Structures are given as C-alpha cells and as structure tokens.
C-alpha cells in the first residue's frame, strides 16, 4: 500500500504503549526522513521498515538521506541500521538479502560498517560460474547457509573456507559431489540430485537423508537404479521431477 509519513504519524500518536513496530509500504521521499522517524519511534524497542519509493535517487541524495539515519540515536542507542538500494530503503538485518550467489556483495549505501551482518544473513547460497581465486579473495565466510545449490565443482577445502557445511539442511548437487560432502554435513536431511554417476563410488548408505529429489534425470541402468535406492533406504519422501526412465 502507499502511505505518507503524516499518515503513519497519526496512527502512532494513538498507540502510546507500542513497543514493536514494523511497516512495509510504498511512498515518496518523506518516508526517508530519519530525524522525523527518530521523534516518532524513540519510545519503541523494535522498529523495522521497508519502503519502495516512487522515485530513484542519485548517489549524493542517497548518502544525504542515509546521514539522517546515522545519528547516535540510530547507531549507538538503538542499533538500528539502514540500507538504501535504488528504489528501496530498509532496515537490516530484518530485510537483508537471504539468498546469494558467488557474485554477492554487501549493499554499497548503508549505515552499518561491519559487512559480516550481510554474510551472516545469507541462508540460501548458489554456486554456478566460479572464479575460485576471486571468490575466496573477495568474500567473508557464509556461516548460516541452510540451502546449498552446487552447479559447478569446487574443491572441498575451498568450499569449507566459503560455507559452514555443518549448517546445511538442503543440498542440490550431482551424486558424486554429495558423496564427497556427506561427512561434512551432519544436519543434511534433504537432497536434490541433479545428475547421477555411480562409477567409482563405494557402496554406502546415507541414513540422514529423509527427503530425496531426482531432478530431470532421464536414464539410469537397472542395476544402478537398485544400487542407488539402497543408498537411501531411510528416505521418507521421494520426489521425481521431470521423469526418470530406466535403461534396460
């Protein structure tokens, strides 16, 4: 919905006991007045907002607006941090990005200096096109990833330097990559196999996998099919996406 700061103020004046306030809306530049917001929410313990703006502002204007959210009240007293991103202004970590790829970078215009806040809030991470040296040189570690999508190969040591694999609950990867990573993922319960190659793999049973997906895997030999299913005998839910045909 579209609101003005005047409208919000009228409602807040009626709620003298309000302790937690969150608002998502569309509007104009008046919503970006940190000094006025300070007067309105000084008594509130938890305040979060995300505003989609009707106008786009240049670099100088974005920095000017963020300066009104950079006073000791916002940063030191309340620990409320703000990001300006093109047509949006929002508080973090509440509205920080939760998914990222290898090209992820923290927002440029923000009131918080510690970039770890943004890396710590990434819960879904996808690796597609990988420049390993650049990737490892540019990033902090992602310690809270719950969903890991691996489309490209990355050596285990490098992956461990990038992601805390012990936190991963869902993995999408080729079978051979999963087998390499399984011992490093004690919390993994859901697996999506993007390709199958049983050659060179030792017979194993992966008891932790309870939910299994086959992602558009067309052909598999009958012998390999039986062997594959024996690897996941503890599966409680099985999903086949796009069909899977046996090659007799």
**Between residues 30 and 194, which one has the greater pLDDT?**
30
Q: Which of 46-55, 72-81, 158-167, 235-244 has the lowest mean pLDDT?
A: 235-244
* Structure tokens that stand for 193 in this block: 């196999």
CA distance 169 to 145: 8
Q: b vs e for 86-116, b when ≥16 Cβ sit within 10 Å of the residue's Cβ?
A: eeebbbbeebbbeebebebebbebbbbeeee
Domain ranges of the chain: 5-95, 124-247
Give the pLDDT confidence score for residue 248 in this predicted structure. Answer: 38
- Token pair 């049983």 is found at 198
- Whole-prediction pTM: 0.87
Give the pLDDT confidence score for residue 64 in this predicted structure. Answer: 95
67 pLDDT band (50/70/90 cuts)?
A: very high
């Amino acid at each position: 919905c579209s609101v003005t700061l005047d409208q919000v103020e009228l409602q807040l004046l009626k709620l003298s006991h309000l302790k937690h306030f969150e608002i998502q809306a569309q509007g104009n530049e008046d919503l970006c007045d940190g000094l006025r917001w300070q007067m309105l929410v000084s008594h509130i313990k938890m305040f979060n907002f995300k505003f989609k703006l009707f106008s786009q502002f240049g670099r100088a204007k974005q920095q000017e607006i963020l300066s009104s959210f950079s006073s000791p009240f916002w940063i030191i007293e309340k620990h409320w941090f703000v990001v300006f991103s093109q047509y949006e202004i929002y508080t973090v970590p509440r509205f920080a990005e939760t998914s990222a790829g290898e090209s992820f970078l923290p927002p440029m215009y923000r009131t918080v200096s510690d970039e770890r806040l943004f890396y710590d809030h990434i819960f879904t991470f996808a690796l597609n096109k990988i420049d390993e040296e650049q990737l490892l040189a540019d990033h902090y570690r992602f310690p809270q990833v719950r969903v890991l999508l691996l489309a490209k190969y990355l050596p285990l040591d490098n992956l461990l330097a990038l992601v805390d694999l012990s936190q991963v609950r869902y993995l999408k990867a080729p079978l051979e990559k999963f087998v390499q990573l399984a011992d490093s993922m004690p919390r993994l319960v859901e697996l999506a196999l993007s390709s199958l190659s049983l050659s060179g793999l030792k017979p194993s049973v992966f008891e932790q996998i309870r939910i299994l997906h086959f992602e558009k895997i067309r052909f598999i030999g009958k012998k390999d099919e039986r062997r594959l299913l024996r690897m996941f005998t503890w599966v409680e839910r099985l999903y086949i996406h796009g069909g899977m045909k046996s090659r007799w």
